Amino acid sequence: MIAFRNFALRRGERLLLSDVDLALHAGWRVGVVGRNGTGKSSLFAAIRGEVEADRGDIDVPNRLRIASVAQETPALPEPAIDFVLGGDDEVAAVLRAEAEATAREDWEAVAAAHQKLAEIGGYDAEARAGRLLHGLGFPAEVHRRAVGEFSGGWRVRLNLARALMMPSDLLLLDEPTNHLDLDAVLWLEQWLLRYTGTLLLISHDREFLDGVSTHTLHLHDGRAKLYVGDYTAFERQRAEHLRQQQIAYEKEQAERAHLQKFIDRFKAKASKARQAQSRMKRLAKLAGTEAVRAERQFRIEFPAPAKLPHALLRINDGTCGYGGDARILENVGFGLEAGDRIGLLGPNGAGKSTLVKSLVGELPLLAGERYAHPDLRIGYFAQHTVESLKEGTSPIDHLRELSPDAPTQAFRDFLGKWYFPGDRAFESIDGFSGGERARLALALIAWKQPNVLLLDEPTNHLDLDMREALAEALSDFDGAIVLVSHDRHLIGLVSDTFWRVSDGVVKPFDGDLDEYAAWLRARPAGEQARAPASAREPEPVPPPAPAKPAGKPNPHRVGKAEAKVAQLEQALAEVEAALADPATWSDPDRAAALGQRQVQLHADLEAAENELLALYG
Q: In three state form, how does the secondary structure of 160-192 look? A: HHHHHHCCCCEEEEECCCCCCCHHHHHHHHHHH
Residue 197, pLDDT score: 93
Mean pLDDT in residue range 36-65: 87
Residue 526, pLDDT score: 46
334, 400: one domain: yes
Look at strands 367-372 and 378-381 and give their pairing.
unpaired
Q: Give per-residue pLDDT as tens, 368-394.
A: 999 999 999 999 998 788 888 899 999
373, 503: one domain: yes
Cβ neighbours for 337, distance < 8 A, ≥ 6 positions apart? 310, 311, 312, 480, 592, 595
What sign for the dihedral angle of Cα 10, 15, 20, 23? negative
323, 251: one domain: no
Higher pLDDT, 38 or 210: 210
Q: Provide long-range contacts, Cβ within 8 A and 24+ apart, for 425-428.
A: 425/394, 425/395, 425/396, 426/394, 426/395, 426/396, 427/394, 427/395, 428/391, 428/392, 428/393, 428/394
559, 516: one domain: no
pLDDT band at 272 (very low <50, low <70, confident <90, very high): low
Segment among 75-79, 443-447, 596-600 with least mean pLDDT: 596-600
Which of the listed residues 471, 505, 522 is the one where a domain comes to its end?
522
Instruction: For residues 179 and 201, give the distance between their C-alpha atoms in angstroms, rounded to a whole number.
Output: 15
423, 475: one domain: yes
Three-class HEC string of 300-349: CCCCCCCCCCCEEEEEEEEEEECCCCCEEEEEEEEEEECCCEEEEECCCC
Three-class HEC string of 396-461: HHHHHHHCCCCCHHHHHHHHHHCCCCHHHHHCCHHHCCHHHHHHHHHHHHHHCCCCEEEEECCCCC
* Number of compact structural domains in the chain: 3
Please check whether residue 532 lies inside any domain of the structure: no
Residue 66, pLDDT score: 92
Specify the DSSP class assigned to residue 105: T
Q: Judge whether 32 and 18 are in contact, CB under 8 Å.
A: no
**Beta partners for residue 220, in sequence order:** 223
Residue 358, pLDDT score: 93
In percent, the amount of the chain with pLDDT more than 90 equals 33
Average pLDDT, the chain: 82
Residue 465, pLDDT score: 83
244, 383: one domain: no
Residue 616, pLDDT score: 54
Residue 530, pLDDT score: 45
Q: Give per-residue pLDDT as tens, 570-603.
A: 887 787 667 666 566 567 667 667 767 766 776 7
Please check whether residue 383 lies inside any domain of the structure: yes
283, 414: one domain: no
In percent, the amount of the chain with pLDDT more than 70 equals 84
How many helices (H) does the chain have, and how many strands (E)? 19, 18
Mean pLDDT in residue range 121-136: 85
Whether the predicted pLDDT of 544 surpasses 50:
no
pTM assigned to the model: 0.70
**Beta partners for residue 224, in sequence order:** 219
CA atoms within 13 A on the CB side of 277: 6
Q: Judge whether 289 and 461 are in contact, CB under 8 Å.
A: no
Run of H or E including 395: helix 395-402
Residue 519, pLDDT score: 83
What sign for the dihedral angle of Cα 345, 347, 351, 352? positive
Q: Using only C-alpha atoms, what is the Rg of the chain?
A: 30
Q: Judge whether 106 and 146 are in contact, CB under 8 Å.
A: no
Instruction: For residues 24 and 420, give the distance between their C-alpha atoms in angstroms, rounded to a whole number.
Output: 38
- The residue type found at 591 is A
Continuous H helices in 1-151? 40-47, 80-85, 89-103, 107-120, 125-135
Mean pLDDT in residue range 332-356: 90
Instruction: For residues 188 and 190, give the distance between their C-alpha atoms in angstroms, rounded to a whole number.
Output: 5
Instruction: For residues 402 and 301, give the distance between their C-alpha atoms in angstroms, rounded to a whole number.
Output: 19
Please check whether residue 544 lies inside any domain of the structure: no
Higher pLDDT, 549 or 272: 272
Please check whether residue 33 lies inside any domain of the structure: no
pLDDT band at 605 (very low <50, low <70, confident <90, very high): confident
Q: Which of 162, 130, 178 is nearest to 528 (CA)?
A: 130
Burial of 522 (0-12, 13-18, 19+ CB in 10 A): exposed
Q: Judge whether 84 and 144 are in contact, CB under 8 Å.
A: no
Whether the predicted pLDDT of 308 surpasses 80:
yes
Cβ neighbours for 377, distance < 8 A, ≥ 6 positions apart? 305, 306, 307, 448, 449, 450, 451, 452
Please check whether residue 45 lies inside any domain of the structure: no
What sign for the dihedral angle of Cα 441, 446, 452, 453? positive
Edge-to-edge, what's the strand order for the sheet holding 223-228?
A: 66-68, 170-174, 198-202, 29-33, 215-220, 223-228
Mean pLDDT in residue range 425-429: 90
373, 469: one domain: yes
Please check whether residue 57 lies inside any domain of the structure: no
State the residue range of the domain holding 574.
555-614
Here the CATH number for the domain that contains residue 504 is 3.40.50.300
Whether the predicted pLDDT of 444 surpasses 90:
yes
Q: Which of 169, 166, 158, 182 is nearest to 125 (CA)?
A: 166
Residue 34, pLDDT score: 86
pLDDT band at 290 (very low <50, low <70, confident <90, very high): low
312-316, 548-552, 564-568: which is most confident: 312-316
349, 262: one domain: no
Q: Give per-residue pLDDT as tens, 131-154.
A: 999 889 888 888 989 988 887 788
280, 375: one domain: no
Mean pLDDT in residue range 232-248: 79
Higher pLDDT, 226 or 275: 226
594, 502: one domain: no
pLDDT band at 532 (very low <50, low <70, confident <90, very high): very low
**Beta partners for residue 567, in sequence order:** none
pLDDT band at 612 (very low <50, low <70, confident <90, very high): low
Mean pLDDT in residue range 538-547: 32
271, 389: one domain: no
Segment among 243-247, 373-377, 387-391, 525-529 with least mean pLDDT: 525-529
Please check whether residue 103 lies inside any domain of the structure: no
Q: Judge whether 54 and 222 are in contact, CB under 8 Å.
A: no
Cβ neighbours for 21, distance < 8 A, ≥ 6 positions apart? 4, 5, 6, 7
Q: Give per-residue pLDDT as tens, 13-35.
A: 778 888 899 999 999 999 999 87
Please check whether residue 608 lies inside any domain of the structure: yes
